[in-house]
Amino acid sequence: MGTSARGRVRVRVLVIDDDAAILGMVRELLDGEGYAVDTRRTPPADPAELAPFAPDLIVADLVYPDGTDGADLLRRFAEHPATARVPVVVCSADRPLLDRLAPDLAA
């Protein structure tokens, strides 16, 4: 967790979404609540890329224009030491994909 100018611990939240408007809105909301926020328009090829920011929470879409598979992305996060213990909040409007992944998301 990061530290604010007042010495308070700031929870680090990484938001991954290909939609710039959504990223901006979520960043503004979380910044306003005191979170340290980093955003990415594409998921990392390797979760180790996230180590410098060391997120405490990841908010991620599951559908990306480059064809990134949402289930694969969640698996990579779960299997990599840098992100295995980091909670992931899924944020997607793709209801069929969410229904398909629901059993895995509950684990």
pLDDT for residue 72? 86
DSSP letter at 46 equals: S
63: nearest Cα among 37, 91, 85, 38? 91
**Mean pLDDT confidence for 76-92:** 91
Structure tokens at 103: 């059993």
Residue 37: phi and psi, rounded to 5, are: -120, 135
Which of these ranges, 42-51, 69-78, 96-105, has the smallest mean pLDDT? 96-105
pLDDT for residue 28? 96
- The mean pLDDT of the chain is 86
The percent of residues above 90 in pLDDT, for the chain, comes to 52
Distance CA 91, CA 99 (A): 13
pLDDT for residue 5? 54
